[in-house]
Amino acid sequence: MDAAPLAPPLAAWPALAGGLEGELPRAAVWAYALLMITTLPPLVPNAALLVAGGVLAARGSLNLALVLLVVAGSALLGDGLLHWCGSRFKDRVNHWAARTARRKALLAWTAGQIRQHGVPYVVAVRFLPSGRLIGGLGAGAIGYPLRRYLIGAGIAECIWAGYSVGLGYLGSAAARGELQAIAIGCGISGVVAGATSYLQYRARRRSGPAAPPPGDGPGEQG
């Protein structure tokens, strides 16, 4: 007897979104896996998938609590790995940052803000452009305690997962269809990203690239 072939992730997601009831158990597994894979690393475009996850949860195709747990949990795991990389490979991080003046200044400024403000800034930096990557590497490079970093990152990821998935979940009730709900959610996400970019720009203009003390933070060594 031939075994039924497993559907690939990208094929299973449209099948789930289309409401093919016979594919739901298997497609749901791929959907959760796809959410995990795209939220673990930084700088991976995933806004549409997160909103779509909320839409599918509103339709009952996915479990809302499990979607939130997968999204926030995998992102927090990625944050911990970034902190470890910044701590374990500090010299390489400094060398990577020194390749461009903007990247070096941004890493030094972020590290200085984490040193000065601690957990509140660890939470805030998550919502700035490239903030997850720069914040995790910077915190590790300056030796910011991992447990305190994970507390701030955990708070940030819960907020991020809540509003990202929630846009699709709530938008599904207001929109006429899945695509419209996803479009609304992605549009709001774009507005939020633009607003945080502007606030980051204003903050850096006011304070300047506050570098850490010599020899104690990222960007000091080539």
pLDDT in tens, 50-92: 888 888 888 888 899 999 999 999 999 999 999 999 999 999 9
Q: What gap in Å lies between CA 66 and CA 154, rounded to an integer? A: 16
Percent of the chain at pLDDT above 70?
65
pLDDT in tens, 153-163: 999 999 999 98
Collect all residues with Cβ–Cβ distance below 8 Å to 14 and sequence separation of at least 6. none
Single out the residue of 35, 32, 13, 16 nearest to residue 24, CA to CA: 16
pTM higher than the cut 0.85: no
Are 169 and 64 a contacting pair, CB within 8 Å? yes
